[in-house]
Chain A
Amino acid sequence: MSHDFLQINDLRVSFPTDDGVVRAVSGLTLSVGRGETLAIVGESGSGKSVTAQAIMGLLNPLATEIDGRILLDGVDLLACDPEHRRSMRGSAMAMIFQDPLSSLHPFYRVGDQLIEAVRIHQDVTKKEARTQAIDGLRRVGIPDPERRVDDYPHQLSGGMRQRVMIAMALINGPQLLIADEPTTALDVTVQAQITDLMMDLQQQTGTTMIVITHDLGVVAEMADHVCVMYGGRVVEYGTTDAVYYRPSMPYTRGLLASVPRLDGAYDEHLDPIPGNPPSLIRPPSGCVFHPRCREREAVPGDLCSTVEPDLVTAGPDHRARCHLLTEGTP
C-alpha cells in the first residue's frame, strides 16, 4: 500500500500520568489514498482525536510518548525535525476543530487570524494576504467577505465561525485536511450546510480528508472508508458500504444500532451500547470490548477475555478485530 497518501504503521501514543500510563492509541495501522475521505468513528476516549493530533503533531512532546510511523506522501512525520514538522502544519496538512468559537482567538479579527495563517507559509505582503483572506472567506460562502474580514469572532454566528475555520484550514491549499467533529457544536440546520461545503471544497481541491466524528450520518455522506476505533485500537476498517451494511464487529453493530439511519431504515428506538468505555490505563484482558460485548457467548470458552483478536479480513477491503470472524458461529 505504498501508494497510499497517508500511511500509519503501528502508531502507539501514551501519556504518563500519576495514576499510570494512559495508552490512548495502541498499535494503530491504517492508510488513506490520495483524494479520498476517511472517517474515523468511535466514542470519546477511543483514541480518534489523539490519532488526529498525532498526525498534526499537536501533542505536547514533553507529556507524550509516540511510537510507530506516520508517512505523509512518503515523508515520515515522526522522524523529521520539529521545525520541518511545524512548517508542514497549515500548509501540507490542516485541521478543523469541533468548537469554532473557542478555536478562534477571541481578541483578534478573523481577517488578522487568516492573514497570519497566510503569511507564515507564504512570503506575501499583508495586503496580498488580506486579499487571499477575503477570497478564502468568499470561497467558504461567507457573504460580504470584505466587511466580515474585519469582524471579531464573537460578531459571527456559529456556522459562520466554522466557515472561517474551514477557510483558514484551506487557505494554504493543504493536501491533507483533518476535521475533528466539524459539525458537532453546530445547530442541526447548519450541520448539513457545513458538511456540504466540505464535500464541495474537497471536490474542487482534491484534498485528502480525515473526518473524525461520532455522527454516522456524516460518515455515510462524506466518507469513502470508515475506521472504527475502540479503546485506542482499530476494531473495524472498510469501505463505507461494507462497514455500514456488513458490520463485522459487535461494537460497530452497536454503534450503528444506536443512531438513526440516514438510509431510511429508521430504528424507532435508539439502542445505545450499555457499559462504559474501557480504562486506557488498565485495559481489559483479551478483546478490549469483551466486557460490553453482547455477542461474546457466541465465542467458545473464555477466548474473548484472554486473547486479543487480530484484525482479520472480513471481506474485500474490509477487516475487523473479532474472534467471531475466526472462531465463532455467526
Chain B
Amino acid sequence: MAAYIIRRVLIMLLLLLLLTLIVFVLFSLLPADVARLTCGKICTDQTIELNRIRLGLDKSVFEQYWLFLSALFVGRTYGIGDGAIVCEAPCLGWSFTKSEPVLELILQRLPTTIFLALGAFVLFLVGGVLLGVYSALKRGGWQDRTITSVALIGYSLPSFFFGLVVIYFVIIRWQVLPFPQYEHPWDDPVQFLQTMILPWLVLAILYAAFYTRLTRSQMLETLGEDYIRTARAKGLPERTVIRKHALRAGLTPIVTAAGLDLAGLLGGAIILEAVFSLPGLGGLAISSVVNPDQAILVGITLVTATFIIVANLIVDILYAVIDPRVRVA
C-alpha cells in the first residue's frame, strides 16, 4: 500500500510539472500583449519595450517557464533598481493589474471557495447517498418515485437561475436571512453560517440529485449481487446487509464521482460565487478574463488543476482502501 501511494504521488508530481508547462505555453501563445496592457498611462513604444524587459517577456517561452518555475522556490524580482517589484518565494507570479503577488491573491480567496465546496460537498454527499439508499430500498414505491422525480428536477436546474430564485424568495422576499456578506468563520462564525447556508443548500440540491440517482442505481445493482444473498442467508439483519455489505460495494463509483466533483467545485462554483457575492476564486478568475491578467489565470489554472490531480490521487487511494482487489494492480 505504501509503495502504491508513493508511486502515485511521484506520478502526480510529474503530471503537475507537465501541466505547468502546458498551461504556461498555452497562455504565452495568447494574442494579448501583456507589456502593452500594463505599461502605465503614457505609453510609448519605448516604454512598452522597457516594460517587456521588466516582465521578462523579451525572453523565449522556455526561459520564461524556467523563471516561473524557479520563482516558486527562490522568488523573483521584476525590473531593477528602486522601481523593482520583489515577489518572494514561493512566487506564483506577479499580477500587474492588481499589483499583488498571484499566490497571495489566490490564498486570500481560496478559503472561501474551499469552505463553499466542502460544506456543499458534505451536504450533497450525505443527503444524496441517504436518499439514494432509501429510494433503492423502496424501489417502485411512491417514496422512490417521488425522490426520483425530484432528483431529476434538481439535476436539470440551472444553478444560476436556481440561486437567484432562492435569493429572491429567502432573502429579498421573505427576509428569512440577511443578504450574504461573507466573513471568515474564525472572524464571525454566525455571519459565516448565515452567508454560506444558502449557497451550500443550492449546490447541495443540485449535486445531491446526481448522487441520489447514482446511489440508487448502484444500490439496486449491488442488492442483486450474490454476496448480498449470502449475507442474508447468514441471517444478518437487513440494516447490516445494507450498510456493511451493499453500501460499501456500491460506494466505489460514488467515491470517484465525489472526488472529482469536489475538485471541480473548487474551480467550478464560479457562477454561484457570483450570485451570492462570495469572494472566492471564481470571481478572481472572471475578473482576470475581463481585464486580462495572464499571471492570475495561470495561477488559478494551476491551483485548480492541482486540486483535481490530488483529488484523483485520493480517489485512487480510497479505491484501494475500499476494494482490496485494486491493491494488487
Contacts and interface: CB of A to CB of B under 8 A. Distances in A.
Interface of A: 56, 58, 62, 86-91, 94-95, 97, 99, 102-107, 116-117, 120-121, 152, 154, 165, 168-169
Given A91-B235, A168-B234, A154 B325 contact: yes
Nearest to A171: B234
Given A105-B227, A107-B248, A154-B324, A89 B233 contact: yes
B235 A86 contact: yes
A104 B231 CA distance: 9
B322 interface: yes
Contacts of A107: 248-249, 322-324
Given A87-B235, A89-B235, A152 B230 contact: no
A120 B236 contact: yes
B232 interface: yes
15 contacts: A58-B232, A87-B235, A89-B234, A90-B235, A90-B236, A91-B235, A104-B227, A105-B227, A105-B231, A116-B236, A117-B235, A120-B235, A121-B235, A152-B324, A169-B233
B325 A106 contact: yes
Interface string B218-241: 000000011101111111110000
A106 B249 contact: yes
B109 interface: no
Contact of A103 (B140, B227, B235, B322): B227
B245 interface: yes
Given A87-B235, A168-B234, A58 B229 contact: yes
Given A106-B227, A106-B249, A86 B237 contact: yes
Contacts of B139: 62
B323 A56 contact: no
Contact of A95 (B233, B237, B323, B325): B233
Contacts of A102: 225-227
Contacts of A95: 233
A152 B326 CA distance: 12
Contacts of A154: 324-325
Interface string B231-264: 1111111000000010011000000000000000
A94 B233 contact: yes
Nearest to B141: A62
B234 A103 contact: no
Contacts of A56: 233
Contacts of B324: 106-107, 152, 154
Nearest to A95: B233
Given A102-B225, A121-B235, 20 more contacts: A56-B233, A58-B229, A58-B233, A62-B140, A86-B237, A89-B232, A90-B236, A97-B226, A97-B229, A102-B227, A104-B230, A105-B245, A106-B227, A107-B323, A116-B234, A117-B235, A120-B235, A120-B237, A165-B230, A168-B230
Contacts of A169: 233
Interface string B197-225: 00000000000000000000000000001
A58 B324 CA distance: 28
A102 B229 CA distance: 10
Nearest to B322: A107
A103 B249 contact: no
Nearest to A86: B235
Q: From B232, B235, B323, name the one whose CB has the most chain A CB atoms within 10 angstroms.
A: B235
Contacts of A88: 235
B226 A103 contact: yes
A89 B232 CA distance: 8
Nearest to B249: A107
A89 B323 CA distance: 27
Q: Which 8 A-B pairs have the closest CB atoms?
A: A90-B235, A89-B235, A102-B226, A90-B234, A105-B227, A103-B226, A95-B233, A152-B324
Contacts of B225: 102
Nearest to B245: A105
Interface core residue of A87, A102, A103 (most chain B CB under 10 Å): A103
A77 B322 CA distance: 37
Nearest to B321: A107
Contacts of B230: 97, 103-105, 165, 168
A137 to B, nearest CB: 16
A36 B128 CA distance: 50
Contacts of B227: 102-106
A288 to B, nearest CB: 28
Given A58-B229, A105-B245, A107-B249, A120 B234 contact: yes
B142 to A, nearest CB: 13
A56 to B, nearest CB: 6
B9 to A, nearest CB: 24
Contacts of A116: 234, 236
B323 A117 contact: no
Nearest to B236: A120
Contacts of B249: 105-107
